[in-house]
Structure 1
Amino acid sequence: MASHPGGRNEYRDMVRSIVDQHGWFVQKVFAGEGSEIWPQFAYTVGLTEMGHPEMLCHGLPLDTAHRLLNVLGEQVRAGTRFPANSAATTLTADNLLLFFIEVTNRSDLAVATMMYGEVEAVQLIWPDKQKRFPWNEGCSIPSDQQPLRGRLPGPRVIE
């Protein structure tokens, strides 16, 4: 979990307040030099309370990931569901195809675990500029920038 000057309980209370006010919180995880943590990523905390898996996004600039996760959170609040093994085309201004896969290793979702215990989560997978995904030949996104944290989907598209 991120270090916080007031300690774990104060951090949990701050997250609880944001979830109560907005419906979810976005936790940013910074990868440090020599860290065994995945590349930097961001994830939601609070979608569990809406009956939806938490969502995470690797490899994008953290502010971009934060905005995208907020868009997804708004969609979930409105009733849209993004289960594992699905895809969506209406979440970005340019209608990029985005995939969602089940996250099988959730050990670093410390804030979500602190709040809810074991949680379900899906990873948002985004394409490179040529609209190729990490599993496509020629994808320009390095595998260590957007590691796949679950099984590859045979997706259905959510319109």
Structure 2
Amino acid sequence: MSERANRIEQDVRTYGYHLVSVLEEERLPPFLYTIGLELSYQHPDLVVFGLEYPVMGELLEQLARRVKSGDRFEGGGSYEGILEELPCAFLDVHPTRFREHFGMAQSFYRSRRFRVLQVVWPDEEGRFPWSAVFDRDFRGMQPNLHVAGEEELLDWDADVDTDHVQVIGAERELVKVTFFLARDEDGYPPYERENLWAAPLPEGAFRIESIPYYVRGISKGDVIDVAKQGARRFAKRLVAASGNSTLRIWTDDPETSQLVMTELLQRGCECDNAHDPKLVAVNVLAELDYREILEWVAAGAREDRWDFEEACTAREDQ
């Protein structure tokens, strides 16, 4: 096995995925893609074209973190707030494109089936390449891998079924709810308030849809009442507990955070560290054995591998 293949195997085992960068060629813009998301999380790998490498890397790492935390992106979907508050569309890459563009992925997966989603970014006005008014300055920077073909790279003006692309974020109708934070004598948490995504419910309450980083006493899935001031919503009180619990784990480095997330995801938890790569917010679902998960986390703390906090314990008997 080559040194590069060894590195890919090691990264997938350690972090859940590996990033491959491909240099710009005469007929092909630069691109970046993941290897391992299919194996680690049963989610299609991702590819993005035409941006600067640091931007593409940050974009794919952000998306990979979301996949690790339980988010799923579907071909034909457009998701809000992906690239500096702009949406990105996700389209299935046709398998006939694999050999030319994803040779390393094919070598890694060998005979195993895998899928790839192309992350398509818009222009500054939020218009995608298949739009007739897409910014001309960006044309040709994202080849169309959604249709069959092996060598010819089609532009988006070709006969491509993109009418079914839907804005997933808009369909979910999530809103931000503000929680005020009480600081301790050491000045923690470092912020005065935290905004959490929430879904409006028919009776006027809101269900929390993100894992809190700093709010105490609230878990993802809890139902709350809010007070509205202008366009903003502020949390008032807990209406119904979900039964989920919230843990927070602070590590010394992002690599340890990735190991923590990998372990807890395998145990059935939901995790997020998009806010801070050294802080892992954990949603322990009600059906899981909280004490068993807590003991694993506490054991790591006793070994000085990380610190942790029980931010919301759903049941008193736990």
TM range (shorter): 0.7 to 0.9
- The aligned residue for residue 106 of structure 1 is 98
SS in 1 for 2:141: coil
1:28 aligns with 2:28: no
Deviates more, 1:66-75 or 1:19-28: 19-28
Percent identity, aligned pairs only? 26
- The aligned residue for residue 5 of structure 1 is none
Q: In 1, distance between residues paired with 2:161 and 2:17?
A: 26
1:19 aligns with 2:6: no
SS in 1 for 2:7: helix
Q: In 2, distance between residues paired with 1:90 and 1:131?
A: 11
How far does residue 152 in structure 1 lie from its aligned partner after superposition?
Answer: 4.1
Q: Where do 5+ consecutive residues of structure 1 fail to align?
A: 1-7
Q: Is the 8 A contact 2:17 2:37 kept in 1?
A: yes
Q: Aligned to 2:165, which of 142, 155, 159?
A: 155
How far does residue 99 in structure 1 lie from its aligned partner after superposition?
Answer: 0.4
Q: Aligned to 2:75, which of 73, 76, 84?
A: 84
- CA-to-aligned-CA distance 1:71-97 (integer Å, 9 cap, x gap): 010011111111211111132342x11
Q: Aligned to 1:123, which of 118, 123, 142?
A: 118
TM-score, normalization by structure 1: 0.85
- The aligned residue for residue 35 of structure 2 is 45
How far does residue 69 in structure 1 lie from its aligned partner after superposition?
Answer: 0.3
Q: Aligned to 1:56, which of 47, 54, 71?
A: 47
Shift in alpha-carbon separation, 1:139–1:157, aligned structure 2, 3 A: closer
1:73 aligned partner, one-letter code? A
Q: In 1, distance between residues paired with 2:161 and 2:88?
A: 13
- The aligned residue for residue 3 of structure 2 is 10
Q: In 1, distance between residues paired with 2:68 and 2:168?
A: 16
2:93 aligned partner, one-letter code? V
- CA-to-aligned-CA distance 1:92-121 (integer Å, 9 cap, x gap): 342x11100011112211111111035210
Q: In 2, distance between residues paired with 1:114 and 1:158?
A: 33
Q: Is the 8 A contact 1:41 1:56 kept in 2?
A: yes
2:73 aligned partner, one-letter code? F
Bigger CA radius of gyration: 2
Q: In 2, distance between residues paired with 1:47 and 1:158?
A: 21
Alignment RMSD (CA, Å): 1.7
2:5 aligned partner, one-letter code? R
Shift in alpha-carbon separation, 1:156–1:129, aligned structure 2, 3 A: closer
Aligned residues: 148
Q: Is the 8 A contact 1:101 1:152 kept in 2?
A: no
Higher RCO, Cα 8 Å, sep 6+: 1
Q: Is the 8 A contact 2:46 2:60 kept in 1?
A: yes
